[in-house]
């Protein structure tokens, strides 16, 4: 069971994005993308149990003719058993910052080069999102960014940001506010407080609210899309993303 905050690069795409232009349906195209993942040993996050559980894996082999592929088991036996029993599995990767996401209707255990693995049929479609403006970057943990707005009754809403992009942001809902913030709600005035990067005023709409099981317990995660977006805000957000990407690369180089 994945009781941890996953890498933002391997989190599922949010509901706020129009993904239709990025969907591949041709088996040859899907096979090519899967073979690229295999040849580069790209890490994938496999989500199951309605997104509550996750294990890390990678594509091991692809059979384009049979329209099947093989992917690795995880390091946690109970998670492997749970994934084997799942009837829907969402796989997400981000090779070189390009988001790849697809769903399969279950997987079966098999042997690959003498070791246990999973095999599954090709997905009916595969999303390959190359638009960098929607690639979300995690916000600092030591000095968190946050969003401020007002609930309908005038009470202050303050959410710690988890990730940010030019399309929207993801944030943690404070304890006690579950049920008061729902998908579809719009906040015409809000402020993103971005530490040394300053404060941005904009509007946003809540597009998704989901439960996340962490080591510290259960929390609620909200995905939001910007409503009001001036050129000045876009320029400032771009600078924030450049700085976050620079800091991320400094940690991994």
Give the separation between CA 186 and CA 27, rounded to whole angstroms.
39
- Decide if pLDDT at 134 tops 60: no
175 versus 184: which is more confidently predicted?
A: 184
Mean pLDDT (whole number) for 137-158: 90
The pLDDT, as a whole number, for residue 12 is 65
> Which range (4-13, 114-123, 124-133, 193-202) has the least confidence?
4-13
Helix (H) or strand (E) holding 252: helix 231-252
Tokens of 117: 């693995």
235 versus 93: which is more confidently predicted?
A: 93
Helix (H) or strand (E) holding 96: none
CB 100 within 8 A of CB 110: no
The pLDDT, as a whole number, for residue 248 is 73
CB 114 within 8 A of CB 95: no
Architecture, CATH, for domain 136-252: Beta Barrel (2.40)
Helix (H) or strand (E) holding 63: strand 59-63
In sign, the C-alpha dihedral spanning 108, 113, 116, 117 is: negative
Give the separation between CA 40 and CA 35, rounded to whole angstroms.
8
Confidence bin at 11 (pLDDT 50/70/90): low
Give the separation between CA 12 and CA 168, rounded to whole angstroms.
14
CATH 2.40.10.220 domain extents, the chain = 136-252
The pLDDT, as a whole number, for residue 193 is 95
pLDDT, tens digit, for every residue of 69-92? 999 999 889 999 999 999 999 999
CATH 2.30.110.10 domain extents, the chain = 8-131
Nearest to residue 17, comparing CAs of 244, 245, 247, 207? Answer: 207
The pLDDT, as a whole number, for residue 240 is 86
Give the separation between CA 210 and CA 155, rounded to whole angstroms.
22
Give the separation between CA 179 and CA 163, rounded to whole angstroms.
22
- Decide if pLDDT at 1 tops 50: no
- Decide if pLDDT at 57 tops 70: yes
Torsion of CA 224, 227, 230, 236, to 10 degrees: -10
Q: What share of the chain is helix, strand, coil (3-state, %, to 5)?
A: 25, 40, 35
CATH assignment of 8-131, among 2.30.110.10, 3.40.50.300, 3.40.1370.10, 3.40.50.1820: 2.30.110.10
DSSP codes of every residue in 38-62: HHTT--EEEEETTTTEEEEE-EEEE
The pLDDT, as a whole number, for residue 239 is 85
The pLDDT, as a whole number, for residue 97 is 67
Give the separation between CA 69 and CA 106, rounded to whole angstroms.
12
């Amino acid at each position: 069971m994945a009781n941890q905050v996953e890498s933002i690069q391997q989190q599922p795409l949010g509901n706020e994005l129009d993904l239709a232009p990025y969907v591949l349906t041709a088996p040859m195209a899907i096979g090519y993308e899967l073979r690229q993942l295999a040849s580069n040993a790209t890490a994938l996050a496999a989500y199951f149990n309605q997104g509550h559980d996750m294990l890390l894996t990678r594509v091991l082999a692809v059979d384009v003719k049979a329209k099947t592929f093989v992917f690795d088991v995880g390091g946690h036996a109970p998670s492997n058993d749970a994934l084997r029993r799942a009837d829907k599995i969402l796989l997400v990767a981000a090779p070189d910052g390009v988001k790849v996401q697809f769903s399969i209707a279950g997987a079966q255990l098999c042997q690959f080069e003498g070791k246990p693995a999973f095999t599954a049929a090709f997905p009916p479609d595969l999303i390959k999102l190359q638009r960098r403006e929607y690639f979300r970057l995690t916000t600092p943990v030591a000095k968190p960014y946050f969003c401020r707005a007002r609930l309908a009754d005038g009470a202050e809403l303050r959410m710690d940001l988890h990730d940010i992009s030019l399309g929207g942001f993801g944030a943690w809902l404070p304890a006690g506010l579950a049920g008061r913030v729902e998908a579809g709600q719009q906040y015409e005035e809000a402020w993103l407080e971005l530490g040394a990067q300053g404060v941005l005023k904009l509007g946003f709409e809540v597009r998704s609210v989901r439960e996340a099981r962490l080591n510290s317990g259960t929390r609620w995660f909200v995905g939001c899309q910007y409503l009001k977006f001036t050129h000045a805000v876009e320029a400032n957000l771009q600078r924030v993303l450049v700085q976050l990407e620079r800091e991320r690369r400094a940690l991994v180089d």
